[in-house]
Structure 1
Amino acid sequence: MSQPLIPAALNTPKRRLAALILPAVAALGLGGCVVAPVPPQYGYGAPAYDVVNVPPPAPQYEAVGVAPYPGAVWITGYWGWANGRYVWNRGYWHAPRPGYRWVPHRWVQQGGGWHGQGGRWERR
């Protein structure tokens, strides 16, 4: 007598259905996952920009308000570059880093274009 194709543990209609559906559901769930590099976070690294041929607009006014806790550092808003245009990134409060000072984001004109230099923490 030959061996059955389906193990005895899966030899009921409900279990066979579960054995077919569960891998399909897992594949669909994982199909939406994307593994991509994390862009640098404003405040911890200088994002790299392509050379932009258009000067940045004037900074937008932001009401700073009162610090949420003693020692909080205001990280000023800045014009970033995304999808071929300037995009305003709002400022926010950040916890201080002892021994460091905040250097804000800026745009520098070089060689006929504008280069973005991301904000960063520098040792004092």
Structure 2
Amino acid sequence: MKTIWITGSILASVLAVPAFGQVSVGVTIGTPPPPLRYEAPPPIPAPGYVWVDGYWVPQGRRWVWRRGEWQRPPYEGAYWAHPHYDHYPDGWHVHEGYWSHEDHGDHYWDHHHR
């Protein structure tokens, strides 16, 4: 009976998480992130890849740059929603980027860094 309960709990938690849904991980740090860096993408490794911009991530009490990289979208029509930062009373929150079914219309690098 215990095995059935554990198996059922694991199955329920797996089914509750969408395969390609939005995953937002918030991390709080007291100081604002530095300005974004422009990185010229290296040559595309193969057709179908998308350049995912670099961004600042907190490491301890400081910001560290995570370099951009070429990624293959996980499904046809996927759009990359870039990470972003929000300021709240307890500090700066970082929300990780994710692949989405929707085009959020936020193509900052496409329009401003050519």
Q: TM-score per shorter chain, which class?
A: 0.5 to 0.7
Query: Partners of 1:66 and 1:103 in 2: how far apart?
Result: 22
- C-alpha displacement of 1:110: 2.2
After TM superposition, the structure 1 = structure 2 runs for residues 109-124 of structure 1, keeping only pairs within 5 Å, are 109-111=87-89, 113-124=91-102
Matched, 1:62 2:39: yes
Q: Deviations over 1:103-122 (max 9, x none)?
A: 01111122352110101011
Partner AA of 2:99 in structure 1: W
Task: Tell me the alpha carbon deviations over residues 74-112 of structure 1, each in whole angstroms, 9 at most, x when there is no partner.
Answer: 111000001211010000000123132100111112235
| Structure-2 residue corresponding to 1:103 | 81
Q: Secondary structure at 1:68's aligned position in 2?
A: coil
Residue 3 of structure 2 corresponds to none
Match of 1:53 in 2: 30
Measure how far apart 1:56 and its partner are: 0.4
Quick one: distance in 2 between partners of 1:100 and 1:62?
Answer: 22
RMSD over aligned Cα atoms: 1.8
TM-score normalised to structure 2 length: 0.62
Q: Which of 1 and 2 has higher RCO (CA within 8 Å, sep 6+)? A: 2
Percent identity, aligned pairs only, is 35
Q: Determine helix, strand or coil for the equivalent of 2:24.
A: coil
Q: Structure 1-normalised TM-score?
A: 0.57
2:81·2:98 contact (CA, 8 Å) conserved in 1? yes
Could you tell me how far apart the structure 2 residues matched to 1:103 and 1:67 are? Answer: 20
Give the gaps of 5 or more residues in structure 2.
1-21, 103-114
1:25-104 to 2 correspondences below 5 Å:
45-49=23-27, 51-97=28-74, 98-104=76-82
Larger Rg: 1
The structure with more strand, counted as a fraction of residues: 2
